[in-house]
Structure 1
């Protein structure tokens, strides 16, 4: 199963549970500092905007942080007003009671105790009246509410600006990274792609770069906000009460213990979950692509059973992973609640001592709530950054791959190429010390057809790869019209060639677009003319939309033979000097094979052609047949000459009609 199909966000991949990414396994980079420094270098062109993001994040967070402190003042004022009302009511009642006593007994007014009590009551009433008249100051509270509304609006505005600018910074940075990767891929030699699966390369180009993009867009600003929030909240809590701040900080080890305890136990289940997701995706892909074969051999039940088995294992590991990571938040809420209780008790005591107001206690509870969340977020983001740097490292590994040998500075141009090809003493090996082609010499004249035959792994395709400079030769030289191909720019060299391969390549688009791919700026008439020459025009016109028929992703809405005719039409339109043909008639019916053979004959007419032959009956008329085995040309000549030698070629030829005879195979 290729990586890109089973991959996910590298640092998380957990899904479910608010603490999932914190509890899940983290992919780490081999060289964290070096890779991070290199990744940050991509941010340099955007540094002014990034500094603005940093400033706006700080402003947004600060305006948000001061809110609880200011709202505490409103609560304190409200509390004081309510308490004043209650106090005034109680004093008035006491005054009424004293007045009633005096009215009942005028002599009591001379009592020192009554006089002192009445004086205290009047003094209390006077004090309350001087303070706020026994009323709640709604005007003050209204100002506080408006101030809070303004603060939160400003905070939101700066938060929006921060995200808006960061979106541009992230996308521009990733745009440049993608551009570098795309340009790098175009400069890499064929051996790079041969040594890696398509899935691995696509995973680096898509998943890893998307991971970097998401982190830059979301996690980086969140990290800034979280750090500023932690610092700001600590400062605000200290302004309220250093003692209560100490109480909150002392609960931090409990958070760490809870998280570490759960993360340790959930890690193995998350790893198992990812493994089973990969297995399930691989199985589903296999079953989907091969569903016809499965049905033909009656293995539907086995397929379903295997799916059920993998799905059960995924369920068990996934359930355990999500459950264990899911209990983190309830446990952390429990720790938070313990902290709230202690804050309330200590805060209440300090309030009775007059060392803190009710509003400050309320503000402090809000701050203690705000304090833990950014710590958890910072821990999550630290994991995500680890995974992001690991993704960046994989991308940079691709960017550091050895490129093709640069084109010669004084490159030569063959204005009117004829197609005369010469191999002189060519040596080549994929791996040092393991030669594949040794001392190869071929002289190909203009318009000749050169057939290359031999068993699988003989080096037939390698010969073509060397001719087009997909690989560099170790010794000797290859010339076209007397010019060493190393002295010709690769683009110019490859423009001389047309290719029709066994594995047809058609893209998602119209038939017209697929044929026109052979030559830039080709007209519709030229495309149709090429289709006629390839014997493809008739079947195209029978399709519902003709040349405007859209081929699906795998071009499965036309037959294999029809695909081959379209690729031949594309090659005819390109009008190359040299043709490379990998016969592809083994999977088509006899009638279509005749059309393909005719089309290929028309394509090879008056052109130098290299034909990788599978059916030897199709290359009898070739001017030269090269018989290859284990990278060497062991026989060379025309069809009749090779049969007369009664060697390896004769065995190959006869094996296609009377059964294989490998007695003469070169070992």
Structure 2
């Protein structure tokens, strides 16, 4: 019921369309039910009249019946068109809600879930839900009306024959219920298996350059083959279950016809049923069978839609974890004083990545974090914009706990330049403009100049309108990095995080970009995660962190004189013994 309540909620904005659709379904059902009644009446009372009277009256009867079917035409048109439009609008709303929720989920959710599976939920799952949203109520309503109406009319013809039909139908319902419960599990497995296929395709296509560089096309084909085969096996299971379901129901439909013929012959010989009544009875059996066929064929659609909606609900119920507190404030005029107060952090109750760590960074200062991979440097920086929340302790900006600041204003005052730069599919101008969506062309050009990328952009045939390709494949690593720096120049935040921003670049590109970073860091509180220690010699303070916490702190000269861990790392690099 919990799932259905959430499903019904999406009908609320379209109540008029829904009830209009149901009204049209009611009219269609009544018209279908009325035809055998009209025919029975004409056979018993009209066709036995005088031929002249029949010829005079039949035209009016024909016009009346024609009008009835014109009404049915418009009702079915409304059901087929506006009913589907309602379903499409509901699908759009669900996709919007799902996308909005995905935007709010924390990094920890993306650490554990594959993008291909999320795409499957956004596209194929929601299509199945849309089809269920439209056809579900309509098919059930029309079928229920026809079945109940048929039984009601059949009872007026012969009670005993109808009770026999009820008994056969009851067995049919029990059979359907049992098979449905089996199919529900199988169709849920279908959804998971096709999500795995999507995930496999996405991984392979996004990493196609790595695949080709290792000549591993055959490996990728084998991996895809396994995922594809698993999906096929799941589909085979679903079709076997569907085959049993449909064949079983078809058998029971045959039993319905047999029971009518056998019981009808017995009752005719007893004089309790007329042959004309039996003919009408047979017509209503057809009307009874038709909605049962509809429900049988609808079962696959129902199972797909229901399984998809449960997956949709699973995502929508995933906790956002990081949210604005009730009285969160918008932070303004940020100076950039940052303090980590006895901060500890762990992922999902695992061992602490950071433990009881305290750092005080004055506004405008340049602080460098140094240490081995896995020491918690990136995690420490990720806590500042609340990509993750601290497990213990607190972080403040200008004396305010960052949890008491709205997420939007907090992240607006922090700029991040990462080692792995992400380029959106679009133009260079759009990618730089991402730092400030409302920026003018002049502001974008100025940001590009400050990032030392303007001259290169102008050398391109389409300039700022040059398409960068998916994930920026048409640009070099250094060019992508400078565009990401231009984004931050455009954003103009008072606090800056440089997460190994030059470690993946060659020496020439590093020197070029280092100038841009030095320009970017002026008059900003800057936290640098350093891989190449030559880039942080001028930092106001260098903090050496490993998995046991802060080991050393001081400026470059002080730490070299100390001959501790920092000096060890520094000498390794410049003696060419390490990275």
Shared fold by TM > 0.5? yes
Counterpart for residue 519 of structure 1: 436
Larger Rg: 1
Residues 162, 296 of structure 1: alpha-carbon distance in 2 compared, 3 angstrom cutoff: closer
Correspondence 1:215 to 2:132: yes
Instruction: Please say if residues 77 and 136 of structure 1, whose CA atoms lie closer than 8 Å, have aligned partners that are also in contact.
Output: no
Secondary structure of the residue aligned to 1:441 is: strand
How much has 1:330 moved relative to structure 2?
5.6
Counterpart for residue 561 of structure 2: 644
Counterpart for residue 126 of structure 1: none
CA distance in 2, matches of 1:453, 1:551: 33
Correspondence 1:406 to 2:325: yes
1:397 counterpart (294, 297, 317): 317
Q: Deviations over 1:378-428 (max 9, x none)?
A: 462764675366346425523x6545251645x37443x333333344444
CA distance in 2, matches of 1:392, 1:194: 19
2:475 counterpart (558, 577, 597): 558
Tell me the C-alpha RMSD between the 2 structures: 4.1
Counterpart for residue 146 of structure 1: 63
How much has 1:231 moved relative to structure 2?
0.8
How much has 1:510 moved relative to structure 2?
1.8
Instruction: Please say if residues 70 and 148 of structure 1, whose CA atoms lie closer than 8 Å, have aligned partners that are also in contact.
Output: no
Counterpart for residue 419 of structure 1: 336
Instruction: Please say if residues 188 and 404 of structure 1, whose CA atoms lie closer than 8 Å, have aligned partners that are also in contact.
Output: no
CA distance in 1, matches of 2:339, 2:174: 74
Counterpart for residue 448 of structure 2: 531
Correspondence 1:252 to 2:163: no
Q: Deviations over 1:341-378 (max 9, x none)?
A: 55356557767888666665444333212323433544
Correspondence 1:64 to 2:32: yes
Counterpart for residue 307 of structure 2: 387
**Which TM-score applies when normalising by structure 2?**
0.83
Secondary structure of the residue aligned to 1:418 is: coil
Counterpart for residue 537 of structure 2: 620
Instruction: Please say if residues 146 and 288 of structure 2, whose CA atoms lie closer than 8 Å, have aligned partners that are also in contact.
Output: yes
How much has 1:557 moved relative to structure 2?
2.6
How much has 1:602 moved relative to structure 2?
1.9
CA distance in 1, matches of 2:235, 2:352: 50
Instruction: Please say if residues 496 and 576 of structure 1, whose CA atoms lie closer than 8 Å, have aligned partners that are also in contact.
Output: yes
How much has 1:566 moved relative to structure 2?
0.9
Counterpart for residue 230 of structure 1: 147
CA distance in 2, matches of 1:619, 1:74: 99
How much has 1:52 moved relative to structure 2?
4.4
CA distance in 2, matches of 1:482, 1:273: 52
CA distance in 2, matches of 1:324, 1:397: 31
Instruction: Please say if residues 117 and 199 of structure 2, whose CA atoms lie closer than 8 Å, have aligned partners that are also in contact.
Output: no
Flag structure 1 segments of 5+ consecutive residues without an equivalent.
Answer: 1-32, 82-130, 663-667
CA distance in 2, matches of 1:547, 1:644: 48
Instruction: Please say if residues 478 and 509 of structure 2, whose CA atoms lie closer than 8 Å, have aligned partners that are also in contact.
Output: yes
Secondary structure of the residue aligned to 1:579 is: strand
Q: How does 1:68-147 map to 2 (within 5 A)?
A: 68-73=36-41, 132=50, 137=54, 141-147=58-64
Q: With a CA cutoff of 8 Å and minimum separation of 6, indicate the structure with the bigger relative contact order.
A: 1
CA distance in 2, matches of 1:286, 1:587: 22
How much has 1:152 moved relative to structure 2?
2.6
How much has 1:648 moved relative to structure 2?
1.8
Correspondence 1:570 to 2:472: no
How much has 1:227 moved relative to structure 2?
1.2
| Worse overlay, 306-315 or 149-158 | 306-315
**Which TM-score applies when normalising by structure 1?**
0.73
Flag structure 2 segments of 5+ consecutive residues without an equivalent.
Answer: none
Correspondence 1:498 to 2:415: yes
How much has 1:60 moved relative to structure 2?
2.6
Instruction: Please say if residues 184 and 303 of structure 2, whose CA atoms lie closer than 8 Å, have aligned partners that are also in contact.
Output: no
Counterpart for residue 455 of structure 1: 372
CA distance in 2, matches of 1:519, 1:62: 60
How much has 1:542 moved relative to structure 2?
3.0
Instruction: Please say if residues 451 and 489 of structure 2, whose CA atoms lie closer than 8 Å, have aligned partners that are also in contact.
Output: yes
Residues 74, 176 of structure 1: alpha-carbon distance in 2 compared, 3 angstrom cutoff: same
How much has 1:281 moved relative to structure 2?
4.7
Instruction: Please say if residues 208 and 395 of structure 1, whose CA atoms lie closer than 8 Å, have aligned partners that are also in contact.
Output: no
CA distance in 2, matches of 1:482, 1:260: 63
Q: How does 1:368-387 map to 2 (within 5 A)?
A: 368-375=285-292, 377-378=294-295, 380=299, 383=303, 386-387=306-307
Secondary structure of the residue aligned to 1:218 is: helix
Instruction: Please say if residues 407 and 486 of structure 1, whose CA atoms lie closer than 8 Å, have aligned partners that are also in contact.
Output: no
Instruction: Please say if residues 422 and 479 of structure 1, whose CA atoms lie closer than 8 Å, have aligned partners that are also in contact.
Output: yes
Aligned length: 576
CA distance in 2, matches of 1:192, 1:308: 28
Counterpart for residue 13 of structure 1: none
How much has 1:167 moved relative to structure 2?
5.2
How much has 1:569 moved relative to structure 2?
1.0
Q: Deviations over 1:315-341 (max 9, x none)?
A: 676557546634755664455345435
How much has 1:225 moved relative to structure 2?
1.5
Correspondence 1:596 to 2:513: yes
Residues 238, 382 of structure 1: alpha-carbon distance in 2 compared, 3 angstrom cutoff: farther
> 4+ residue runs of structure 1 moved beyond 6 angstroms?
75-78, 260-276, 348-355, 659-662
1:468 counterpart (370, 385, 406): 385
Instruction: Please say if residues 559 and 566 of structure 2, whose CA atoms lie closer than 8 Å, have aligned partners that are also in contact.
Output: yes
Secondary structure of the residue aligned to 1:551 is: coil
